[in-house]
Amino acid sequence: MAGKRQTFRIALAQVNLCVGDLDGNKRKIIEYIHRARENRADLIAFPELSISGYPPEDLLLKRSFVKECNDVLETVVRETSGLIAVIGFPYAEGSPRDEVLLYNGAAIAKNGSLVSVYKKILLPNYGVFDEKRYFTAGNTPSVLEIGGFRFAVNVCEDIWKPGVTRDQVLSGGALVILNISSSPYCAGKGLERQHMVSARARENDAAVCLLNLVGGQDELVFDGESLVVSPDGNLLARAPQFEEALLTVDIDLDEIARMRASRSGSSAGRGSCDRGRVVGLGDWKDAGLRDRGEFREPLIPVISHRLSYVGEIHGALVLGTRDYVRKNGFQKVAIGLSGGIDSAIVAVIAVDALGPENVIGVMMPSRFTSEQSARDAESLSRKLGIKTMTVPIEEIFSEYLDTLSAVFEGREPDITEENVQARIRGNLLMALSNKFGWLVLTTGNKSEIAVGYSTLYGDTAGGFAVVKDVPKTLIYELAKFKNEQAGGPLIPESIIAKAPSAELKPNQKDTDSLPPYEILDPIIEAYVEEDKSREEMVNEGYDEKTVDRVVWMVEKSEYKRRQAPPGIKITPKAFGKDRRMPITNLYRMKKKEG
């Protein structure tokens, strides 16, 4: 034993679970417990609310659901022989006769028994989060002790502010902090998480492990990228983004203890032990764990490469699409291909997510479809290797005009006739969906959706809106990224080069109705994502009239967004649960009166 360093082997199970899939989640958790035991880990951790999937939303209001989660937890706990397992689950405390309080819990199991449950202390109730709708906040920053070594568990939000971790280290004497998260992605979030975890480690002279869920759930993508950071804030290990992984690391406990002792100025706890909050797990061997004297081949820590800014957005869109399609039981998807850039990008992402054999491009030309657009859609489909079909809308459109001619008598053509075309396409795509069981992917981008430049039940008709949170300017960056990745024009240059058009009337251009996207997108970002006021935007140099027009368009089209399909959040504030605006809303919508 002499000379051997005491290490603690932690396995972070960055798994892709599914909301409500209690059987599937159970099987995956047990499978990973077995893998961790084979890897001779001392502890395995699973993400926040693993048993239920995250976020379970109002399933949590069903007592039967919470009860079944608890049954699954009991089964899983019995599988933990020879190690410690930390598992997120909804924890109902109290007997059915009393008031039952629900907590966002982390079960701590050891060698087949449930030892303790940590209750999440900080409950996020902003942005996409509604945790105060469901959970009571815990109030005990407890720590765990095994063989004289102390570590602590906390859950997601708990680590984003200094308090909980500081309590666990200062009063509790924890050397290692394990945070189990289900932290949703937006662009740049991974780096932000890494900086935050490093700060928490340095503040406390503690090793910090952050385990994050991976996978898509409705509008959210969980990006994984679990982290282990040393007490000096340096990265020890990192799991990949957007993939499952079992990130296993040896944490050198002697090193941390030595480091902490040597830092005289440090206030990090050196045994100031608040016994009331310490959950004792016994000695290593009593705990059913590996004998410390037994040799274990040391692990080489893995630091996965991070994707580029655009690369990670692409990764999020691919995973979000794949998981929405598959978890909802679909095999194939249909996409209306117009020859424009938005439908091209959606097709590319669908192919990356599902393979070309599962993507059907549907061309629905009209009298306003240019030859170039038809050629571009054809050429893109060939490059992607996807099946296509052509269903022209001309005859149907003529029939609508005939049928409506009596009631429309004396009226000039206007946007009505444009919308009729878009809705014919929506109807045709949905007919294909009904007949063949394909999920329809819609192609609207965030710029269009923000200002309502879309036809409700027309181009917005479909099950999943892949790029609904991607501004148009970023759509172009994604095209560039994919063409660079492909080493050539996977997306034909003419698609990228041409001026955007809905092709619903002769010579139509998006800029007939909208400011250029280079001007529009920053205003949308300032107004929607940053909640800046008209005055702030004007003071920052945006054109006053353009700002007023954009604000008006954004608020006037809330009703369209309320009926739009879900799609993947990639920005700090997506339309959806992130931004809950009234439809009936006269703020700045009327001319100033009085």
| Nearer to a second copy (CB atom), residue 138 or residue 269 | 138
Which residue in the list 18, 69, 156, 209 is annotated as catalytic?
156
| Nearer to a second copy (CB atom), residue 283 or residue 531 | 531
| Nearer to a second copy (CB atom), residue 196 or residue 461 | 461
Smallest gap from residue 23 Cβ to a second copy (A): 5
| Nearer to a second copy (CB atom), residue 110 or residue 561 | 561
Smallest gap from residue 532 Cβ to a second copy (A): 8
Residue 153: C-alpha distances to residues 48, 96, 177, 251 (Å):
11, 28, 6, 15
Smallest gap from residue 54 Cβ to a second copy (A): 10
Q: How far apart are CA 568 and CA 321, in angstroms?
A: 8
Residue 333 carries which side chain, given as an amino acid letter?
A: V
Tokens, residue 396: 């149907």
* 12 neighbors 47 (Cβ within 8 angstroms): no
| Nearer to a second copy (CB atom), residue 267 or residue 513 | 513
- Helix then strand then coil, in percent of the chain rounded to 5, is 40, 20, 40
CA atoms within 13 A on the CB side of 529: 19
Query: Is 120 an active-site residue?
Result: yes
Smallest gap from residue 336 Cβ to a second copy (A): 14
The residue assigned the tokens 């809308």 is 393
Smallest gap from residue 193 Cβ to a second copy (A): 23
Candidates 380, 302, 389, 375; CA nearest to 346 is 380
DSSP per residue over 169-191, as a string?
Answer: HHTT--SEEEEEE--B--TTHHH
Instruction: Find all residues with CB under 8 Å of 554, minimum gap 6, and list them.
Output: 450, 451, 452, 524, 527, 528
Which residue in the list 26, 48, 448, 555 is annotated as catalytic?
48
Query: What is the bridge-based pairing of β-strands 113-119 and 7-14?
Result: unpaired
DSSP per residue over 449-466, as a string?
Answer: HHHT-S-TTTTT-SSEET
- The separation between CA 179 and the C-alpha centre of its own chain, rounded to angstroms, equals 18
Tokens, residue 493: 């240059």
CB atoms within 10 A of CB 496: 16
| Nearer to a second copy (CB atom), residue 168 or residue 388 | 388
- The separation between CA 225 and the C-alpha centre of its own chain, rounded to angstroms, equals 12
Smallest gap from residue 426 Cβ to a second copy (A): 6
Q: How far apart are CA 62 and CA 183, in angstroms?
A: 24
| Nearer to a second copy (CB atom), residue 149 or residue 222 | 222
φ, ψ at 56 (rounded to 5°): -75, -10
* 337 neighbors 375 (Cβ within 8 angstroms): no
Candidates 254, 324, 255; CA nearest to 565 is 324
Which residue in the list 120, 189, 446, 569 is annotated as catalytic?
120
Smallest gap from residue 584 Cβ to a second copy (A): 5
| Nearer to a second copy (CB atom), residue 116 or residue 136 | 136
Angle at the Cα of 582 from the Cα atoms of 427 and 566, rounded to 5 degrees: 40
Smallest gap from residue 287 Cβ to a second copy (A): 29
Smallest gap from residue 577 Cβ to a second copy (A): 8
| Nearer to a second copy (CB atom), residue 297 or residue 412 | 412
Q: How far apart are CA 372 and CA 497, in angstroms?
A: 12
Tell me which residues are annotated as active site. 48, 120, 156
